[in-house]
Structure formats: structure tokens, C-alpha cells
Amino acid sequence: MVDMTRIDKNPRSGPNAVEVRGLVKHYGSTKALDGVDLDVREGTVLGVLGPNGAGKTTLVRCLSTLIIPDAGHATVAGYDVVKQPRQLRRTIGLTGQYASVDEKLSGWENLYMIGRLLDLPRKTARSRADELLERFSLTDAARRAAMDYSGGMRRRLDLAASMIGSPAVLYLDEPTTGLDPRTRNEVWDEVQRMVAEGATVLLTTQYMEEAEQLANELTVIDKGRIIARGGVNELKAKVGGRTLQIRPSDPAQLPAMAQAIREAGLDGVSGAQAVPDEGLLYVPILSDEQLTAVIGLLGTRGFSLAHVATALPSLDEVFLAITGEKSASAAASIPEEVAA
Ligand SMILES: Nc1ncnc2c1ncn2[C@@H]1O[C@H](COP(=O)(O)OP(=O)(O)OP(=O)(O)O)[C@@H](O)[C@H]1O
Ligand SMILES: [Mg+2]
């Protein structure tokens, strides 16, 4: 689902909630983090994108005080990750890549217990547990043991657990890997709601689509180093943006449609390729404005369209565009429907 109305907050003004400088963490000869610098502005989402083994989880672990970096410096909400771990832990929430709920306890008991561990009074812990179960559509399953939850339910419980203390800074380590599209959308909605309420989020992901939905800014990491950063649109522009796929009602119109787009000189729209075998017209685009312009043009010229979709570049294509090398893992691009 493409949200055409999403307006980026300006990620380049305001104070930083997270500041990382020259962070290094080695495991033997593996340089999991090899001098990482990044900032996350308060109230924004930074997407950290990278293939398997890039160093994403290591970064999240350093910033949650679970491991101590070998060198460099990092602060979260003004607290030093090495010197002020206790204060820092009170300001953060973490949804790890691997589920951290207690299997034997019910969903409600898990949340209540975490609330008590965070020193919430009994009554507050109880009401937070009820409220979060409701938000994540888990009220009906509240009294069931977490071991009987489906993968998606467990992930939602995990997210709810990371939000118990209403953290100012939230780390989400690949929060939707392995989730079905509906559950993924629920998770995205909840993250957007937290950000609207003022939270700062550091999100790691292997999916361009997730980064596009949630992140104000992106950092691409590979082999412990940052290889690209910028706004979502800047990075997409580097990669070549999305491809608009248009199916006309009458395939015979494909060549005329391609010609109309090429000759119209729409701002930034450079090419259109008709593929008669597939009955599709492919148009590379960099923005929602270009998408609207192309569809608008075809409409005014009287072409009848049967189906329109866009495909995002896969993470592999991002890596190809940035480094000229294929990444270690290939995340498939997920086609998104924009109109039928
Ligand atoms: N505890 C550890 N001991 C030894 N090596 C480790 C340890 N943790 C991570 N590594 C190595 O550090 C590198 C970075 O791992 P990390 O888990 O941070 O990657 P990632 O980006 O989170 O990958 P994924 O997408 O698979 O979760 C990898 O080469 C990994 O094998
Ligand atoms: Mg990881």
C-alpha cells in the first residue's frame, strides 16, 4: 500500500536522540562494526538497511548496552552507552530480531512482568498490559500461553513488550521479517503511531519497502561500514527509483503509449519501454509526482488502463547501484499495488 499523503518531517533539524561516532566492534577477525557514524534526530525514524551479516544487530546491541564497543562513542538521549548504561536502559525499548517473550507465560503475564521489572506500580503495569494487548489485537489471546501464539502474534507481543515503558527511543531489529503482509501492515501502523506520539526509532531492515514506509532517512551498511546515506528519495534516485508497470486494456496500444510518454517531456521521466509479450509498459520513476504525471498524461490522451503497479528496487539492486557488487543476500522486491 502506498501512502501518497505521507509528508516527510524534516529529519535534518532538531536535536539528535542518538549520536554514534567511530563505533567499532570486532569478533576475532570479523569487523562487525568498523567505524560507524550516524545520527537519529528526535522524533524521526532512521532506517538502517543492510544484508545478512552487515552489522545491524551488533549496532543495536551496542546502542542497547547489551555489548560494549571496542572503540568509538555513542550516546542515546544524551546518555553514554558505556558510562551510563542504567540511565540509558530506562529511555529505550528494544524489539530484537529473535523473540524475547517467555513462552510459558501468557501474553498478559509477559507484559505485566516487564512493566514490574521497569518499576511501574502494579496498577499502572496492569493497565499498560491491557492497553497494549488491545492495540496489537491480542486481547482475545491475552490469557493464552505465548508458546501457543502464531509467529505474527509473538512478534506483536514482542513489540508491545518493547513499548511498555513508553520509551523515548525504540530500536526495532528487522521487526517484520517473516511476517505475512497483513501483520506487517499492523506493525507499520503501530510504529507510525509511536512516532506521531514523539518517539524516535532506529529500524533495521532488509526490505526497501519497509524503509520507504517508515524511515525519514536511510543509512546503508555493509561489512560493518556505512556505504550510503540520505533521504529515502535520494537513495532511490541513486538506485534508479521504482518501475511503474502499466497494463493497457488493449495491448495494441503499447507502442503508442510509450511514444506519448517519451514525447511528452515529463519532468524527470526519461524512458518508457513497451514489452508486448507481457502486455506491459515499463516506466522508471523517481517520485510519486512522476507516477501521477505519467498516469495523468495517458488518461488525457484517451488510453484505457487495465492495471497499474509499481515495483521497488530490491536490496540487491541497491547494492549493485552503490557498490557495483552483488550483496551477500538477495531480498526480493515486493510489488505494490497502486491502482487496479
Ligand atoms: N557473538 C558473535 N560472535 C562472533 N561473531 C559475531 C557475533 N555476533 C555477530 N558476529 C558477526 O558479526 C557480523 C555482523 O553480524 P550482525 O548480527 O550484526 O549482522 P546483521 O546485519 O544483524 O545480519 P542479519 O541481517 O543476518 O541479522 C557477522 O559477520 C556475524 O557473523
Ligand atoms: Mg541481525
Query: Does one domain contain both 299 and 213?
Result: no
Q: What distance in Å separates the CA atoms of residue 97 and residue 107, rounded to the nearest whole number?
A: 19
What separation in Å is there between the alpha carbon of 97 and the centre of ligand 1?
Answer: 12
Query: Does one domain contain both 262 and 229?
Result: no
Domain count, the chain: 2
Query: Does one domain contain both 27 and 145?
Result: yes
Query: Does one domain contain both 200 and 248?
Result: no
- H/E stretch holding 143: none
The answer to whether position 303 is within a domain reads yes
Per DSSP, what are the bridge partners of residue 144? Answer: none
Query: Does one domain contain both 102 and 140?
Result: yes
What separation in Å is there between the alpha carbon of 59 and the centre of ligand 1?
Answer: 10
Query: Does one domain contain both 80 and 131?
Result: yes
What is the span of the domain harbouring residue 58?
Answer: 16-236
What separation in Å is there between the alpha carbon of 229 and the centre of ligand 1?
Answer: 21
The sign of the CA dihedral 312, 318, 322, 324 is: negative
CATH of the domain at 296: 3.30.70
Q: Which residue's alpha carbon is nearest to atom 30 within ligand 1?
A: 53
What separation in Å is there between the alpha carbon of 180 and the centre of ligand 1?
Answer: 25
Q: Which residue's alpha carbon is nearest to atom 1 within ligand 1?
A: 27
The answer to whether position 98 is within a domain reads yes
E-only strand ranges, the chain: 16-27, 30-41, 45-49, 71-76, 79-80, 92-95, 169-173, 200-205, 217-222, 225-231, 242-248, 273-275, 280-285, 305-311, 336-339
Q: Which residue's alpha carbon is nearest to atom 25 within ligand 1?
A: 52
The residue out of 236, 267, 297 marking a domain boundary is 236
pLDDT tens digit at each of 340 positions of the chain:
434 333 444 445 679 999 999 999 999 999 999 999 999 999 999 999 988 899 999 999 999 999 999 999 999 999 999 999 999 988 998 887 666 788 899 999 999 999 998 889 999 999 999 999 998 889 999 999 999 998 888 888 998 999 888 899 999 999 888 778 887 888 888 889 889 989 999 999 988 788 888 999 999 999 999 998 988 777 766 666 788 999 999 999 999 999 999 999 888 787 888 999 999 998 888 888 999 999 999 999 999 999 999 887 766 666 666 765 555 443 333 344 343 3
Q: What is the pLDDT of residue 332?
A: 36
The answer to whether position 59 is within a domain reads yes
Q: What distance in Å separates the CA atoms of residue 282 and residue 243, rounded to the nearest whole number?
A: 6
Q: What is the pLDDT of residue 208?
A: 78
Mutate to test the pocket of ligand 1, among 56, 95, 204 (most ligand atoms within 8 A of CB): 56
Query: Does one domain contain both 216 and 277?
Result: no
